Structure 1
Amino acid sequence: MSSHTAPAPIPATQTAPSFALLATIFLLTLLEFLQSGMIAFAAGPIMGEIGASPEEFSLTTVAYAAVAISTISKQRWLAERLGWRNFVLASLGLFILGCSICATSDSYPAFMIGRVIMGLGGAAFMTTGRVLVNLIPPSPQRFVGIKYFATGLAAGIAFAPGLASLTVAQDEWNGIFVLLMLVAAAAAVVATLSLPTALVSDDLRSQSNPVLFMSLAGGSFLMLYAIQRSQYDFFTDATMLLSIIGCGAVAMLYFFRAIRQHDRPLLGLQSLKHPRYIVGVAVFMLCYVLLGANNYILPMMLQRGLGVPWEIVGRVQTLGLSSALVAWLVMMWALPKWPGPKKFLMAGFVSLAVFGILLSRLTGDVHIWADVLPALAFNGIFLIFVMATTAMHTFRDVQHHDTVLSHAQQLKNMLAQFGTALGVASSALMLQWRSTEHYTVLVSRFENSNPIYVQTLQAVSRALAANGAGANADALAVAQLAQMVTQQATLMACVDYFAVVAAVGVLGAIAMAVQRLMK
């Protein structure tokens, strides 16, 4: 980007940032991770309340992500024309409107409309929260803004499952959206008190072509739709899915190639060609893939594989992921003394490996508090040590100008939507594949020539008969054993998944040990 076309920088506040500004940064980031974590965790109960099938509900996730990518791409464009205060207030207003529609919806179409409007408003919360840190002039005080940003991230990840399970356990699933509206309203108050209203002059504003924008929106929707459909059609119609992905990729490639010809492009990609930034975004993508996959697999393993009640699942996940907050406190204490990122990145991936190893050794006799909770704690450590460290160092070469930093954040968070969707789809496919394989092996042992099967069937039948099953005891015993086999196959598939996670952790730790960009 040439110097004569560079947009004016964000107006700076006083050296000591106001509490209202820091609270705005914290609440915007908190909202991003609360809404995604709570809705993902409570997907099952919400589907039951609005009468949606799993395919329909996952389509709402695709719609949200596609709208999010489009909105994030125009975040800087909108902020230049509205000013940061009006942009953030408009985003929060749309988010609250979408939440209110979701909270009062009793049908799938109404819920879909609400989620799309939530995406229009809330998609750029994380991008905005990080860019607003630059309202603080370059000084040690800017790190205070980073602290509030990362604390919002850690708190959102940690508290989302517990809050979601609490509302669902009280048979008030729409309380999820009421809570989000309250947090958004608080963010609107502090944003009004702290954010500037200055606009960028007309001759320095980013350019946006409606045809190119539709190409981005359409291409991202097609790719996300194909990724989502792979959970259901991968083994039956892979050619169709690949064709849709190809069409989406062509549309997005056209968008990114065309915007390079603009003097003031919607996304200044030329300014982002820094090895540190490229590697950092790749690490972020891996984190978002794992975050999406783990958010899908963990409730599946605990509920279907181990039969743990819903409320306990949320409580355990929140307690385990609270280690993210502890890990961030450790980082804040250690960074002034040992600022180098390599040790935190290595420790983070080692924690991921330990998380995978602990859960890959589970059996049906697992004790959830003694065996699962420590593993979840290592997952929280991984997320903060890797994501917070990468966030602090990825943008070092692109933060010399507010517009360049904004575009860097926008591109990273657009890719994050694909990463999360890919994580959910890939973990769902692996669970289908491995559970089917294990189920086939287990069912093959259901035969009268197997003495263990016969003894178990007879024992279950006698127990059911003693409890009043009568003549139906044998049939009920077979059905109960079939259910046990399905549960065992699900657990074994989850164990296979976590073995892969352990391997990723080991490889990641090795890669961080030998890399030279983030020392």
Structure 2
Amino acid sequence: MTSSKSPSTSSNALAMLVAGCFFMENLDSTIVTTAVPSIARDLHVDATSVGVTITAYVLTVAVLIPVTGWLADRFGSRRILLSAISLFTLASIACAASTSLPMLVVARVVQGIGGAMMVPVGRMTVLRVTEKKDVIRAVAWLTWPALVAPILAPFVGGLLTTYASWHWIFVVNVPLGILGFVVALRVVPGRSAIPAGEFEPTPPDWLGLALTSVGIGCLVWGTTLLASTPVDVAQALVFLVAGAIGVTLALRHLRRTPRPFVDLRLLRIHTYAVALGGGSAYRFVISAIPFVLPLLYQGAFGWTPLQAGSAILFLFAGNLGVKPATTWMIRTFGFRRLLLVAHLVGVVCLLGMATFRPATPFGLMIVVLVLSGAARSVGFTAYNTLTYADVEKRQMTGATVLDSTIQQIAIGAGIALGAVAISAGRLIGAPTNASPVFAYDFALAVIAVVMLAALIPAWRLPVSAGASLMAR
């Protein structure tokens, strides 16, 4: 029987499904944070010990992402995506049913395995079946989870923990996972649906995969240590150096081996290289903002976690408000102009946040937060779309794996940036007995400078960058 759905309709349905999967994965990266005290009380452990459940999840995702491209090519994207949704959902049930910390950590590792498979495999599945003229719209769907989840997580986690129990932060995944699995059965195409010549299997480059996974794992763990309190600088540096060595060896191997699992010649595609570098720097910065602001509100202003989480929702309002217009804005103004504006508005908003005080009118805070949310949404969507502007479908596996891997590192590094900048602000302000607000002002100013520096790759883009996506 011939389907009555048009390719565009099928592509949109698939993009919405994958976006939902991304939302679950991104939400679970951070939602546990607000439930840490409750989990510690219930499992009879110290609150600092519960942090390993967050690290276990993030580290598993980071280490396994490079392997998922080969898995998708070997067993088919449909089979891997369905397995990922099932594994993530079952692991969520196990997390909610955990009665001890070791049990919860194991369940989180399994959940991370499912999450690692959902991220790049879902994206490559969408991009393989999406025509160039529809890529902007498809990527707009795929980017909102990474923008929204880190902002909603503190609020949702605080709400569920306060009025229900910490178990519910995992239980909410179950109906979403079941729905996602049923929809995936209907809309995810099999390998036979991919036209001949658009599929190029990734070779099983085990040495490259091992070096990359170990290097990324060490980098993510090192940045996690920098973001923890108290900071173990020596241990963090050991892992960061080990990670840098591992990644360097991996890059050397990928350049020399005749059949690497990721072809670094992708970086010769100018738009891909710029979007990968500039986009990662941009994500590095915007990942720090939802980390710093709740600490400012609670640590310096004395707000409750729920009040702080509620205020951060105005970033979400800016994201959501501008999202329907992002496709039109990209097609009207072009990638280069839009990215420059997003960077500059973001810098101004960060400097505005650095002036926040307990007496600052909340209405003024709302304006700054909404504008910041809108700018980050536009910039993030533009970078993610431009990444695949000139990538051929046969190159999509390597392109998505490399992009997903670097983005995962950027998230951890961004949170570490915020933590280190706050600590540096406290050290600088200590001799003069500076106000507690000073450390957060300093951190926001540092983040603003980094965002301004990240503008350079976008500035170097040609005006015609991404023209292949502008067909209507």
TM, length-normalised to structure 2: 0.85
2:219 to 217, 223, 233: 223
Deviation at residue 261 of structure 1 after TM alignment:
4.9
Give the equivalent residue in structure 1 for 2:243.
248
Q: Distance in 2 between matches of 1:194 and 1:437?
A: 55
Secondary structure at the counterpart of residue 433 of structure 2: helix
Residue correspondence of structure 1 range 402-481 to structure 2 within 5 A: 402=394, 404-442=395-433
Matched, 1:270 2:265: yes
Give the equivalent residue in structure 1 for 2:7.
15
Q: Distance in 2 between matches of 1:378 and 1:131?
A: 31
Aligned residues: 456
Alpha carbons of structure 1 residues 423 and 141: separation in structure 2 relative to 1, 3 Å: closer
Give the equivalent residue in structure 2 for 1:452.
none
Alpha carbons of structure 1 residues 512 and 208: separation in structure 2 relative to 1, 3 Å: closer
Moved more, 124-133 or 339-348: 124-133
Alpha carbons of structure 1 residues 143 and 296: separation in structure 2 relative to 1, 3 Å: closer
Give the equivalent residue in structure 1 for 2:142.
149
Secondary structure at the counterpart of residue 322 of structure 1: helix
Residue correspondence of structure 1 range 35-184 to structure 2 within 5 A: 35-40=28-33, 42-43=35-36, 45-46=38-39, 49-50=42-43, 56-138=49-131, 140-184=133-177
Query: What amino acid is the match of 2:399?
Result: A
Identity of aligned residues (%): 19
Moved more, 304-313 or 130-139: 130-139
Query: What amino acid is the match of 1:342?
Result: R
Matched, 1:289 2:284: yes
2:348 to 354, 378, 386: 354
Query: What amino acid is the match of 1:119?
Result: G
Alpha carbons of structure 1 residues 319 and 169: separation in structure 2 relative to 1, 3 Å: farther
Query: What amino acid is the match of 2:86?
Result: G
Moved more, 404-413 or 241-250: 241-250
Q: Distance in 2 between matches of 1:509 and 1:250?
A: 28
Q: Distance in 2 between matches of 1:415 and 1:175?
A: 31
Secondary structure at the counterpart of residue 112 of structure 1: helix
Matched, 1:32 2:25: yes
Deviation at residue 120 of structure 1 after TM alignment:
0.5
Deviation at residue 279 of structure 1 after TM alignment:
1.7
Answer whether contact 1:351 1:381 (CA < 8 A) is retained. Answer: no
Deviation at residue 430 of structure 1 after TM alignment:
2.1
Answer whether contact 1:91 1:121 (CA < 8 A) is retained. Answer: yes
Alpha carbons of structure 1 residues 54 and 359: separation in structure 2 relative to 1, 3 Å: farther
Matched, 1:497 2:443: yes
Query: What amino acid is the match of 2:422?
Result: L
Deviations, residues 331-388 of structure 1 (Å, cap 9, x unaligned): 233344x151122212211221222122111223234x32432222122122211110
Deviations, residues 390-418 of structure 1 (Å, cap 9, x unaligned): 111122222x123x122112112111222
Q: Distance in 1 between matches of 2:148 and 2:222?
A: 32
Q: Distance in 2 between matches of 1:508 and 1:248?
A: 23
Q: Distance in 2 between matches of 1:266 and 1:214?
A: 11
Matched, 1:333 2:328: yes
Q: Distance in 2 between matches of 1:510 and 1:220?
A: 26
Q: Distance in 2 between matches of 1:236 and 1:134?
A: 41
Matched, 1:378 2:324: no
Answer whether contact 2:81 2:117 (CA < 8 A) is retained. Answer: no
Answer whether contact 2:96 2:171 (CA < 8 A) is retained. Answer: yes
Answer whether contact 2:139 2:384 (CA < 8 A) is retained. Answer: no
Alpha carbons of structure 1 residues 504 and 331: separation in structure 2 relative to 1, 3 Å: same
Secondary structure at the counterpart of residue 287 of structure 2: helix
Alpha carbons of structure 1 residues 330 and 213: separation in structure 2 relative to 1, 3 Å: closer
Moved more, 185-194 or 306-315: 306-315
Bigger Cα Rg: 1
Alpha carbons of structure 1 residues 381 and 230: separation in structure 2 relative to 1, 3 Å: same
Give the equivalent residue in structure 2 for 1:258.
253
Secondary structure at the counterpart of residue 389 of structure 1: helix
Deviation at residue 324 of structure 1 after TM alignment:
0.5
Give the equivalent residue in structure 2 for 1:305.
300
Alpha carbons of structure 1 residues 138 and 292: separation in structure 2 relative to 1, 3 Å: closer
Alpha carbons of structure 1 residues 289 and 47: separation in structure 2 relative to 1, 3 Å: farther
Alpha carbons of structure 1 residues 501 and 430: separation in structure 2 relative to 1, 3 Å: closer
Answer whether contact 1:357 1:498 (CA < 8 A) is retained. Answer: yes
Answer whether contact 1:293 1:427 (CA < 8 A) is retained. Answer: yes
Q: Distance in 2 between matches of 1:286 and 1:307?
A: 31
Matched, 1:387 2:380: yes
Answer whether contact 2:283 2:414 (CA < 8 A) is retained. Answer: yes
Deviations, residues 265-321 of structure 1 (Å, cap 9, x unaligned): 322222332232222112222233223322321211111211112222222212332
Q: Distance in 1 between matches of 2:47 and 2:286?
A: 20
Matched, 1:206 2:202: yes
Give the equivalent residue in structure 2 for 1:516.
462
Answer whether contact 1:347 1:509 (CA < 8 A) is retained. Answer: no
Answer whether contact 2:336 2:459 (CA < 8 A) is retained. Answer: yes
Runs of at least 5 residues in structure 2 that lack an aligned partner in the other structure: 466-472
Deviations, residues 111-136 of structure 1 (Å, cap 9, x unaligned): 22122111111124332332222343
RMSD: 3.1
Query: What amino acid is the match of 1:34?
Result: L
Runs of at least 5 residues in structure 1 that lack an aligned partner in the other structure: 1-12, 444-487
Give the equivalent residue in structure 2 for 1:190.
183
